[in-house]
C-alpha cells in the first residue's frame, strides 16, 4: 500500500490506525491491553517462523498499516506449542483461524474501537498527571516486584525476557551467570568426591548425575537448546557433559564423572548404553 497516498485520503486517522495496530494481536485481532491490563503484547516478528508454519503467512513482509503487530499471550502460547512440536519432529495444527484485517477506511472498525477504548481510559485515569513523564526508577520497580505474590512473580519472570532486546538479554544473561558462579564453585568438591573410584562410578544411578548440580545452569541450557523435559539417556548425558564443562571453566583442575570416565576409557570400552 502506498502510505503517502493513503495518508492523503484519510489525513487524520491513518497514523491513529497504525498506532492501534501496534496493540492488536495478529492472530485474533484483539487488543492485548484490553485482554490483559498487564500485557503489552510481543512483536509478531519474534514468532515469524511459527506463524508461517501455522498459517502460511510471512509477517516480516506484510504491510504494517493493515495488520496487527503483536501477539496476545494465548497466541504466543500457540506459537510455542508449534515450536515445541517441531522440535520433537512433529507438526502442530490449529483450528484457530486468523482475524481478517482490512485496510483503514471511512467506516473502519479498528479505529472506532480504539476511539471508544481511549475515551474509557481517560474517564478512569486521574486528570492531572496525564501528560507527566514517568518518574519510575529501577529501585521502585524492584520494590514493586518484591511486593508481588509468588504466582505473579513467576508469571512476570516468564514473560519479561520477551520484552528485552538482544543487548538487554545479553546483560541479563551475564548477571544471571554472576549469581551462580559462587554456587558452582561450592559444588565442585561435592561432585568430585562422589566419584573417586570406578566401582562407585559404575554403581551410580545415571539418572542422578544431574540431580544436585547447578539447576540454573541446567535450565539455561535446556532453554537454549529447546530441550524441555530431558527424557532420553543420550540427552541427559549431553546435558551432564555440558554442565561438567562449565564447571571446568569455573575451576581449571576440576574432573567430573564424565571426564573421569573418559580418561579411563570406560565409555568407549563398554559402549555408551551400559556405561552411560
Which residues of the shown chain bind Zn ion in the complex (CB under 5 A)? 17, 25, 27-28, 72, 75, 104, 108, 110-111
Nearer CB in complex with Zn ion: 76/213: 76
Q: How many Cβ atoms from other residues are within 10 Å of residue 154's Cβ?
A: 11
Q: CB under 8 Å to 72, separation ≥6 — which residues?
A: 25, 27, 28, 30, 32, 35, 36, 39, 41
- Contact in structure between 197 and 266 (CB atoms under 8 Å): no
Nearer CB in complex with Zn ion: 59/258: 59
Which of 226, 258, 254, 229 is closest to 241 using CA atoms?
Answer: 258
Angle, in degrees to the nearest 10, between helices 14-21 and 109-124: 80
Nearer CB in complex with Zn ion: 27/230: 27
71 bridge partner residues? 42
Shortest gap between Cβ of 74 and Zn ion (angstroms)? 6
Shortest gap between Cβ of 119 and Zn ion (angstroms)? 16
Shortest gap between Cβ of 12 and Zn ion (angstroms)? 10
70 bridge partner residues? 25, 43
DSSP β-ladder status, 42-43 and 70-71: antiparallel
Shortest gap between Cβ of 121 and Zn ion (angstroms)? 18
Nearer CB in complex with Zn ion: 28/230: 28
Q: Phi and psi (nearest 5°) for 213?
A: -75, 165
24 bridge partner residues? 31
Shortest gap between Cβ of 59 and Zn ion (angstroms)? 13
31 bridge partner residues? 24
Nearer CB in complex with Zn ion: 97/135: 97
Shortest gap between Cβ of 10 and Zn ion (angstroms)? 8
Nearer CB in complex with Zn ion: 106/199: 106
Amino acid at each position: 500500500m502506498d502510505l503517502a497516498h493513503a495518508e492523503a485520503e484519510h489525513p487524520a486517522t491513518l497514523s491513529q490506525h497504525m498506532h492501534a495496530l501496534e496493540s492488536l494481536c495478529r492472530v485474533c485481532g484483539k487488543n492485548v491491553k484490553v485482554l490483559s491490563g498487564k500485557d503489552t503484547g510481543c512483536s509478531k516478528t519474534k514468532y515469524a517462523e511459527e506463524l508461517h508454519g501455522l498459517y502460511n503467512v510471512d509477517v516480516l513482509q506484510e504491510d504494517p498499516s493493515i495488520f496487527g503487530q503483536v501477539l496476545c499471550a494465548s497466541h504466543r502460547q500457540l506459537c510455542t506449542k508449534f515450536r515445541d512440536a517441531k522440535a520433537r519432529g512433529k507438526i502442530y495444527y490449529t483450528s484457530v483461524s486468523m482475524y481478517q484485517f482490512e485496510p483503514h477506511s471511512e467506516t473502519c472498525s479498528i479505529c472506532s474501537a480504539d476511539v471508544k477504548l481511549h475515551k474509557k481510559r481517560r474517564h478512569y485515569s486521574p486528570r492531572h498527571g496525564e501528560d507527566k513523564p514517568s518518574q519510575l526508577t529501577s529501585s521502585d520497580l524492584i520494590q514493586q516486584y518484591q511486593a508481588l505474590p509468588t504466582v505473579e512473580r513467576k508469571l512476570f519472570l516468564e514473560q519479561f525476557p520477551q520484552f528485552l532486546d538482544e543487548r538487554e538479554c545479553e546483560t541479563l544473561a551475564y548477571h544471571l551467570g554472576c549469581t551462580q558462579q559462587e554456587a558452582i564453585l561450592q559444588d565442585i568438591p561435592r561432585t568430585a568426591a562422589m566419584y573417586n573410584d570406578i566401582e562407585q562410578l559404575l554403581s551410580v544411578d545415571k539418572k542422578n548425575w544431574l540431580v544436585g548440580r547447578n539447576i540454573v545452569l541446567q535450565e539455561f541450557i535446556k532453554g537454549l537448546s529447546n530441550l524441555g523435559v530431558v527424557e532420553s539417556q543420550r540427552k541427559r548425558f549431553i546435558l551432564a557433559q555440558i554442565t561438567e564443562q562449565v564447571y571446568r571453566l569455573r575451576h581449571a583442575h576440576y574432573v567430573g564423572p564424565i571426564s573421569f570416565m573418559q580418561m579411563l576409557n570406560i565409555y568407549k570400552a563398554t559402549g555408551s548404553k551400559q556405561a552411560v
